[in-house]
Amino acid sequence: MEKAFNASAPFKIKLNVSRYTSLFILIIMFVLLSVLNDQFLQVLTFKNIMQQLATVGIVSIGAMVVIISGGIDLSAGYGLAFAGVTGGVFFKMFGDSFPAMLVSALIAGLIIGFANGIIIAKLKIQPFIVTLAMMSICQGLALFVSEGKTILISNPLALFVGQGFVFNFIAFPFIIFIAVSIIGYFLLNKTKLGVYTYALGGNEDAVKLAGVKIDRYKILIYMFAGACFGLASVIMITTIANVTPNLQGSILLDAIASVVIGGTSISGGKGTVLGTFIGVLIIGLISTALTYLNVDPLLRDVVKGSIILVALLFDKLIYQTSKK
């Protein structure tokens, strides 16, 4: 028994180290940026980082839940653009009404998530294919609904949501990100949906054999992701104070990078909200570092893509080690 325990000790150490890898990376990056650039520790820098992280962070929480369930949602980027354009159109339609913007953007996100979920669950089509097709549909709808025009946002409440600060330091969008993270934690750890989300990613066949109606849970999972990028679209358009059909930028890449760096297994069944939260902070620091180092903006996605590959290789290594 003692020998067996000793033999398993190295694996336990590896597993525990892997659990805190993202935190180690965050600390190292924070120290390096502090040393390399004396402007990093200024209050303005942290205010900007908090404001910029919110959109990516909210999308990342939704993406994390989908990936834990064993799925993927490639529609998040253009889904955000379509939800944002929809919110902008209703904002103007109801006389610069922020509630109209918020509700319509959330509904648009929920509809996209519902469509993804029902096609994946009922027609048994791979999530990659379904959400890839939905990405193209959302791209076209964003252009069609907006008619290629830009909508300016001037409502004071809307501008506070995207640009306001609490106590003149904490960005209000960051507070919303924290709130969504808490909701995500509660969903995954305190509800039946959370239990089945992990179970689906771990062994979907076993869940089916247990008599669970998995279709409804898959639909709810993708609807949650849709609600997240619907809300994120509101944060984004109120931060930049305008609505265009090209809102998404690199949001999908940043969100997936945050989730994977945060320790969520791309194979499903493993992941935490805290890990994703830390992953979002790391992506934010990477973007800040690339700015400080004057890296060509055209090469920044190359760096982020490389980071995703390294994180995937690490995830694969841990998975193979656990199988031995």
DSSP string, 171-192: EHHHHHHHHHHHHHHHHHHHSH
6: pLDDT strictly greater than 80: no
Report domain 41-323's class: mainly alpha
Pairwise pLDDT comparison (68 vs 205), residue with the higher score: 68
User: What's the pLDDT band for 2 if we cut at 50, 70, 90?
Assistant: very low
Given a contact cutoff of 8 angstroms between Cβ atoms, the answer to whether 101 and 159 are in contact is: no
State how far the alpha carbon of 153 is from the alpha carbons of 69, 81, 91, 163, 275, in Å: 37, 16, 9, 12, 34
Q: What percent of the chain has pLDDT over 70?
A: 91
- Average pLDDT along the chain: 86
Distant-in-sequence, close-in-space partners of 66: CB < 8 Å, separation ≥ 6: 72, 73, 127, 221, 222, 225
**Residue 161 scores a pLDDT above 90:** yes
Give the E-state strand segments of the chain in sequence order: 151-152, 165-166, 170-171, 242-243
Per-residue pLDDT tens for 84-93?
999 999 999 9
Please list, in sequence order, all residues whose beta carbon lies within 8 angstroms of the beta carbon of residue 28, skipping any fewer than 6 positions away: none
Q: What percent of the chain has pLDDT over 90?
A: 55
Beta bridge partners of 151: 243
